[in-house]
């Protein structure tokens, strides 16, 4: 079987929304407000809160849309889903961090999350105090979302599809690739930005600025509209509300296989300018087990003093004892059936010999907490 280039790969998809021609309206929903045909001036922060099902500024042009049945049902759904996460999995994760990995909560310059797609949620939980987060995937950015450009009659469908696209990540901890049946150019919302917006708003961040950027072949960063050449990305500057700290998130659409880096090494050069920080890897399709992804594997190893991952990240045999201290948590049940060829005897031996503490949190492909594992690698 031909191996997909990315998760499967990142088992993550760009947001799939139904074209207007196939949209359906919720029963009894009336078009009480016409969508404005031009830029209405809604701020990125209000847009993020609107998509996340959270109250917006009363003066925002999005405020009237929060009175519709479509948005209120959407808000109730996300409120229940994120409340369940906060009171369950993430509460257990914070207790686990306090006991076993308090250093992950310290201030660090950068976190590298390769093969991430828009999975900001878990990275922020593990590393809440980084100055910069760099994420990447093959998934496209999409345009900046503007709910006011959606015909009111199709608002319910757009919000329902946002829920559908995010449901796997909220229940199994990773996104699932959808069968791309629709023409993306006809959709009201698509790409990674709407999902990033939801995660940022629900993580209690205030978005200050959003800019489309590109990286040139030398690693230089430029503000540029999509399609202007270079590696496309988005830069989101925001405030972490509990701490008041300013933080920056980058997401780039790029190919980080060896072939992709050889063709254009600008993204890796841009990352290298941020120095040594932490690495985070989850549900990465075991790509760095393969020779065709050796360059990104070497980058993460050489630019991280702390790496947190599941067993789909970097194979444990690359963490040599003279450079790394390895700790494992939970249970190693081996890869899921799709990736069974990547079973690691050395990792199984490590679990058997060390009698690791429990982890108790569904993580990565092993979303059942009884079979999940976590690997912490710290540079000596």
Reported as a single tens digit per residue, the pLDDT across 47-81 is 999 999 999 999 999 999 999 999 999 999 999 99
Of residues 330 and 169, more confidence is placed in 330
Mean pLDDT of the chain: 86
Q: Is residue 349 part of a domain?
A: no
Q: Is residue 71 part of a domain?
A: yes
pLDDT for position 167: 83
Q: pLDDT over 70 for what percent of the chain?
A: 85
Q: Is residue 226 part of a domain?
A: yes
- Which region among 115-129, 132-146, 172-186 has the lowest average model confidence (pLDDT)? 172-186
Judge residue 258's burial from the number of C-beta atoms within 10 Å of its C-beta, 0-12 exposed, 13-18 middle, 19 or more buried.
middle
pLDDT for position 172: 61
Q: Categorise residue 117: left if φ over 0, alpha if ψ from -120 to 50, beta otherwise.
A: left
**Residues 366 and 314: beta-carbon distance below 8 Å:** no
Q: Residue 72's CB: how many other CB atoms inside 10 A?
A: 12
- Residue 24 pLDDT more than 50? no
**Residues 58 and 37: beta-carbon distance below 8 Å:** no
Dihedral (C-alpha) 282, 175, 200, 298: value to the nearest 10 degrees? 30
The mean pLDDT value for 304-328 works out to 97
Tokens of 339: 């990736």
The mean pLDDT value for 241-269 works out to 97
Q: Is residue 75 part of a domain?
A: yes
Q: Which of 13, 291, 368 is nearest to 175 (CA)?
A: 13
Q: Is residue 86 part of a domain?
A: yes
- Residue 209 pLDDT more than 80? yes
DSSP designation for 102: G
Q: Is residue 362 part of a domain?
A: no
Q: Is residue 312 part of a domain?
A: no
Could you tell me the residue range of the domain that residue 70 belongs to? 41-286
Number of domains the chain is built from: 1
- Residue 2 pLDDT more than 60? no
pLDDT for position 77: 96
Q: Is residue 243 part of a domain?
A: yes
């Amino acid at each position: 079987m031909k191996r997909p280039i990315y998760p499967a790969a990142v088992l993550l998809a760009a947001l799939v929304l139904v074209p207007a021609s196939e949209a359906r309206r919720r029963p009894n929903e009336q078009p009480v407000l016409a969508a404005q045909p031009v830029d209405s001036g809604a701020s990125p922060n209000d847009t993020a809160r609107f998509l996340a099902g959270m109250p917006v500024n009363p003066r925002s042009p999005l405020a009237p849309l929060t009175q519709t049945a479509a948005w209120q049902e959407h808000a109730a759904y996300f409120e229940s889903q994120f409340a369940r996460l906060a009171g369950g999995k993430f509460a257990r994760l914070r207790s686990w961090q306090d006991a076993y990995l308090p250093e992950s909560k310290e201030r660090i310059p950068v976190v590298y999350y390769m093969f991430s797609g828009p999975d900001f949620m878990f990275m922020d939980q593990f590393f809440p105090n980084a100055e910069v987060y760099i994420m990447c995937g093959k998934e496209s950015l999409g345009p900046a979302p503007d709910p006011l450009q959606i015909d009111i009659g199709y608002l319910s469908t757009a919000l329902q599809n946002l829920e559908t696209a995010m449901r796997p990540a909220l229940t199994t901890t990773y996104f699932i690739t959808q069968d791309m049946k629709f023409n993306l150019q006809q959709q009201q919302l698509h790409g990674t930005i709407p999902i990033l917006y939801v995660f940022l708003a629900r993580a209690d961040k205030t978005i200050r600025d959003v800019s489309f950027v590109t990286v040139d072949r030398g690693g230089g960063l430029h503000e540029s509209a999509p399609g202007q050449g270079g590696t496309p990305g988005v830069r989101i500057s925001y405030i972490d509300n509990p701490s008041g700290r300013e933080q920056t998130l980058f997401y780039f659409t790029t190919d980080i296989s060896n072939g992709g880096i050889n063709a254009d090494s600008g993204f890796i050069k841009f990352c290298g300018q941020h120095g040594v920080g932490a690495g985070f890897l989850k549900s990465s399709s075991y790509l760095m087990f393969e020779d065709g992804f050796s360059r990104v594997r070497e980058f993460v190893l050489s630019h991280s003093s702390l790496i947190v991952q599941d067993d789909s990240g970097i194979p444990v045999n690359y963490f040599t004892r003279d450079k790394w201290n390895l700790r494992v948590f939970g249970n190693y049940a081996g890869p899921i059936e799709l990736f069974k060829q990547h079973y690691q005897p050395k990792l199984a031996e490590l679990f058997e010999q060390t009698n690791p503490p429990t982890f108790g949190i569904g993580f990565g492909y092993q979303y059942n907490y009884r079979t999940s594992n976590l690997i912490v690698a710290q540079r000596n």
